[in-house]
Amino acid sequence: MNDYKAIMIGGSAGSFQVVTRIIAALPANYPLPILMCLHRLKHIRSGFVEALSIKSKLPIIEPHDKEPLKAGRIYLAPANYHMYIELGNRFSLSTEDVVNHSRPSIDLSFFSASYNFKKKLVGIILSGANKDGALGLKSVTDNGGLTIVQDPKECQVPTMTQASLNATKVDYVFSTKQIIDFLLKLA
Amino acid sequence: MVDNIGIVDTRNIISAVTDAYGIDMSDYTFTILKRRLIHAINTFGSHSADDFADKIRKKIITADDFLYTVSLEVTEFFRDPSLWRELRDKYIPEICRTTDSRIWMPCVTSGDELFSLAIVLNEAGLQGKTKIDALCPSQKHIDLIKKGGNYDQKKIEVSEANYTRYVGKTQFASYYTLTDNRAEMKPTLLNDVSIDVNSDILNTSIAKKYKMVVYRNKLLQFNIPLYDKVIRKLIDSLEIGGYLVIGNMETLEYSEASKKLQIVNANEKIYKKRVD
C-alpha cells in the first residue's frame, strides 16, 4: 500500500468542489506528491491556485518547466500548457496542440505519469464533461498502477467518469468520502 | 497508425537522424520528442518506429521534411496577450529609441509568434525602424511563412480572442485574408523580417548583437544540459541592456548563466542583460 510514489487526479466540470474537499482533508505532512490536471480557462493564468489553496494545508504549485517533483506538495497543471512527468521525476511542459479540446490534457498527463511511475501511480478521475482522461486512466491500468473513478452517480457531470469506466477496468468506484479515506490510508 | 513508441524506438530514431542528417536530438525532452516522432511516423505513413528509422537512414525522408514535421508548433497568435501588450507599449519603443534596432527570433516554426511580433511593431508605429532576424528549422517553414502561412479556422478564432485581450489597435481580421476557411497573413507584415534556415541555434554566428531576443516556449524542448548551452547562446547574442523573452512557465534557474540577466517583468518572463 505504501509503495506508491505519486497520485494523479484528473477532473473537469463539477470537479472543483470535489478537489477542494480532498485537498482540505489531507494533512500538512502528507508524504506523496499529488499531481492535478484539471480543465481550466487557458487565458486566465492566475487565481486558480489561490482558490484551491484556501483550504489546503499543503503547498499548491503550478510547476515550471523542468521543476523537480517533490513529495508533500500538490502540483496543478498550469493554464495553456500540457504537463508531463519525465523520467527522473522532473516536470516538462508543452505547447502542443489541444487534445480532447483541452490544454492541459488529462490524457497526456496520465500517459507520461503512468509511463514514469508504472505500478507506483494512483490515478483518479473525477467529474467532467468530456472523455479526456479515459485513455489516460487506461494507461495507468496498462502500466500496473491503481485506478479510482469518482462514482458517476455522485458526479455533477458524469461524462468523464463514465468514459473512464468504459475505457478500462478500474480498481475502485468511490464516493468523494471514500477517495479521501483511501488517500489518508496511503499516508 | 502508430500510437506509442518506447525508449528503445526513440533512441533508434535519434540515432538514424544523427547518422542521416547530422542532427543530434539526444538531449531533447523525452516526452515531447516522443510525441513529435509519433506524429512524424504517422505523417510519413510508416507502420512502425523501425520502418520510420529505415526511411530516415535511406533518406527517403529528407532532412527538411523531417524537421518541418517534427518541430514543435506554437498554436496561437498573441498567446499570452498581456506579454504582447507590454512589448508594444513599453519594451519595443524603448529598444527602438536608437537606430539599427534588431530583434532575434531564433526558432520560428508555425509563424504565429513572428506574425504577432510583426503586428506589434506595426501597432507601435515602428515598422521600418526595427529589423527582425528569424531562423526556421526548415526551408518548408520559410516558404509557408513567406506566403503568409496557412492557418485553420480554430486557430484564427483563438487568435481573434487573444488579439482582443491584447487590446489591438484594429481588427485582427485586417491582418489576414480568408479563403475556404483558411487564413493567410498579409505578407507585407514581413517587410522588415529576414528569415534563414537553421535548425541548430548553437551553430549560428552572431555578427551583431541584438536588443531583444524572443524565444518563447522553445526551451521546453531541451533537457537541462542542452537548455543550459542554448541559454548561454541566447545571452551571448544580446547587447548589454538587451531583453530576453521566454515563455511564462519557463525558467532560467537551472542555468548558471542566468546570473548574467536580471528579471524585469516576472509575470511575462522578460529579462534584461546585466553589465558584465
The topology under which CATH files domain A6-186 is Rossmann fold (3.40.50)
Cβ-Cβ contacts under 8 Å, B254 against chain A: 66
Does any CB of chain A come closer than 8 Å to the CB of residue B30? yes
The pLDDT of residue A2 is 58
Cα–Cα dist A173/A152, whole Å: 8
Burial (Cβ within 10 Å: 0-12, 13-18, ≥19) of residue A44: exposed
The pLDDT of residue B135 is 96
**pLDDT tens digits, A5-27:** 999 999 999 999 999 999 999 99
Cis peptide before A104 (omega within 30 of 0): yes
Cβ-Cβ contacts under 8 Å, A61 against chain B: none
CATH number of B81-147+189-273: 3.40.50.150
Burial readout B219-233 (b: 16 or more C-beta within 10 A, e: otherwise)? bbbbbeebbbbbbbb
Cα–Cα dist B40/B77, whole Å: 24
**pLDDT tens digits, B182-229:** 999 999 999 999 999 998 999 998 888 999 999 999 999 999 999 999
**pLDDT tens digits, A130-185:** 999 999 999 999 999 999 999 999 999 999 999 999 999 999 999 999 999 999 99
Shortest Cα distance from A82 to chain B (angstroms)?
10
Nearest in space to B80 (alpha carbons), one of B108, B124, B116: B116
Q: Is the CB of residue A8 less than 8 Å from the CB of residue A110?
A: yes
Cα–Cα dist A78/B248, whole Å: 10
Residue in A closest to B34 by C-alpha: A112
CB atoms within 10 A of CB A186: 15
Nearest in space to A70 (alpha carbons), one of A35, A105, A104: A35
Alpha carbon B269 to its chain's center = 16
User: Domain boundaries in chain B?
Assistant: 7-70, 81-147+189-273
Does any CB of chain B come closer than 8 Å to the CB of residue A65? yes
